[in-house]
A and B are shown apart, each in its own frame.
Chain A
Amino acid sequence: MKRIFDIALGILAAIGGFVDIGDIVFNVAAGAMFEYQLLWVVVIGVGAIITYSEMCGRVAVVSQHAVFDAVRERLGFGVGLVALVGAQLINLLTLAAEIGGIAVALQLLAGLPYRVLLFLAFIAVAVVVWALPFGWIERVFGYCGLAMLVFAVAAIKLHPDWSQVASGFIPSANTSDPAVYGYFVVGLIGAATVPYEVYFYSSGAIEEGWKPKDLSVNQSNAIIGYTLGGLLSCSLMIMAGALFFPREITPETLGTAALGAQVPLGEIGLLLALVGILFAVGGAAIDTVFSGAYNMAQFFGWEWGKHRKPVEAPRYTIAWMVMLVLGFLIVFTGVDPIKVTEFSVIFSVVALPLTYLPILLVANDRTYMRRYVNGRLANLFGIGYLVVILLVAVAAIPLMFLSNMGQG
Chain B
Amino acid sequence: MRRLPGLCVALLLVIAGCGGSSTLTGDALQKQDEAVHSAAAEGELLASDVARDRTTEPFARVHSGDLADQAKAVAKRVRDADAAPGLERERRQVLTRATRVAQALEELHAAPDDREVAERVQAELRRLAA
To the question of whether A and B form a pair in one complex, the answer is yes
Closest Cβ of chain B to A339, distance in Å, is 13
Q: Residues 84-127 of chain B: 1 if any A CB is under 8 Å from the residue's CB, otherwise 0?
A: 00000000000000000000000000000000000000000000
* Chain A residues in 8 Å Cβ range of B61: 111
- B41, B42, B66 pick with most chain A CB within 10 angstroms: B42
Assembled-state Cα–Cα distance A243/B61 (Å): 21
* Chain A residues in 8 Å Cβ range of B34: 248, 250
B interface size (C-beta, 8 A): 22
Binding site for B on A (CB under 8 A): 107-111, 243-244, 247-250, 252-253, 255-256, 258-259, 262-263, 266-267, 270-271, 274, 407-408
Assembled-state Cα–Cα distance A255/B109 (Å): 14
Do most interface residues of chain B lie in helix, strand or loop, or is the interface mixed?
A: helix
Using known A-B contacts A250-B38, A256-B42, determine if residue A274 contacts B31 with beta carbons closer than 8 Å.
no
Residues A274 and B38 in contact, CB atoms below 8 Å apart: no
Assembled-state Cα–Cα distance A243/B56 (Å): 20
Partner of B63 from the list A110, A255, A266 (CB cut-off 8 Å) is: A255
Residues B41 and A274 in contact, CB atoms below 8 Å apart: no
- Apart from A249-B38, A249-B45: 7 A-B pairs, beta carbons within 8 A: A109-B58, A249-B41, A249-B42, A253-B63, A258-B59, A263-B45, A407-B31
Residues B41 and A107 in contact, CB atoms below 8 Å apart: no
Chain A residue at smallest Cβ distance from B42:
A249
Using known A-B contacts A249-B41, A259-B46, determine if residue A108 contacts B62 with beta carbons closer than 8 Å.
yes
* Chain B residues in 8 Å Cβ range of A244: 42
Partner of B37 from the list A107, A110, A248 (CB cut-off 8 Å) is: A248
Closest Cβ of chain A to B94, distance in Å, is 15
Assembled-state Cα–Cα distance A408/B35 (Å): 12
Assembled-state Cα–Cα distance A129/B56 (Å): 31
27 contacts between A and B (CB under 8 A): A108-B58, A110-B58, A111-B61, A111-B62, A247-B41, A247-B42, A248-B34, A248-B38, A248-B41, A249-B38, A250-B34, A252-B66, A252-B70, A253-B66, A255-B62, A256-B42, A256-B63, A258-B59, A258-B63, A259-B45, A262-B55, A262-B59, A267-B54, A267-B55, A271-B56, A274-B59, A407-B31
Closest Cβ of chain B to A65, distance in Å, is 45
Residues B54 and A255 in contact, CB atoms below 8 Å apart: no
Residues B58 and A266 in contact, CB atoms below 8 Å apart: no
* Chain B residues in 8 Å Cβ range of A108: 58-59, 62-63
* Chain A residues in 8 Å Cβ range of B41: 247-249
Chain A residue at smallest Cβ distance from B59:
A108
**CB of B82 within 8 A of chain A?**
no
Closest Cβ of chain A to B8, distance in Å, is 27
* Chain A residues in 8 Å Cβ range of B66: 252-253, 255
Residues B31 and A270 in contact, CB atoms below 8 Å apart: no
* Chain A residues in 8 Å Cβ range of B59: 108-109, 111, 255, 258, 262, 270, 274
Chain B residue at smallest Cβ distance from A107:
B62
* Chain B residues in 8 Å Cβ range of A267: 54-56
Assembled-state Cα–Cα distance A248/B40 (Å): 10
Residues A266 and B31 in contact, CB atoms below 8 Å apart: no
Closest Cβ of chain A to B71, distance in Å, is 11
Chain A residue at smallest Cβ distance from B54:
A266
Chain A residue at smallest Cβ distance from B61:
A111
Assembled-state Cα–Cα distance A259/B49 (Å): 10
Chain A residue at smallest Cβ distance from B129:
A247
**CB of B57 within 8 A of chain A?**
yes
- B37, B41, B62 pick with most chain A CB within 10 angstroms: B62
* Chain B residues in 8 Å Cβ range of A110: 58
Closest Cβ of chain A to B53, distance in Å, is 8
Residues A259 and B37 in contact, CB atoms below 8 Å apart: no
* Chain B residues in 8 Å Cβ range of A263: 45, 49
Chain B residue at smallest Cβ distance from A265:
B54
Closest Cβ of chain A to B78, distance in Å, is 16
Chain A residue at smallest Cβ distance from B66:
A253
* Chain B residues in 8 Å Cβ range of A408: 31
* Chain B residues in 8 Å Cβ range of A252: 38, 66, 70
Closest Cβ of chain B to A334, distance in Å, is 13
Chain A residue at smallest Cβ distance from B41:
A247
Assembled-state Cα–Cα distance A111/B70 (Å): 18
Chain B residue at smallest Cβ distance from A114:
B62
* Chain A residues in 8 Å Cβ range of B42: 244, 247, 249, 256, 259
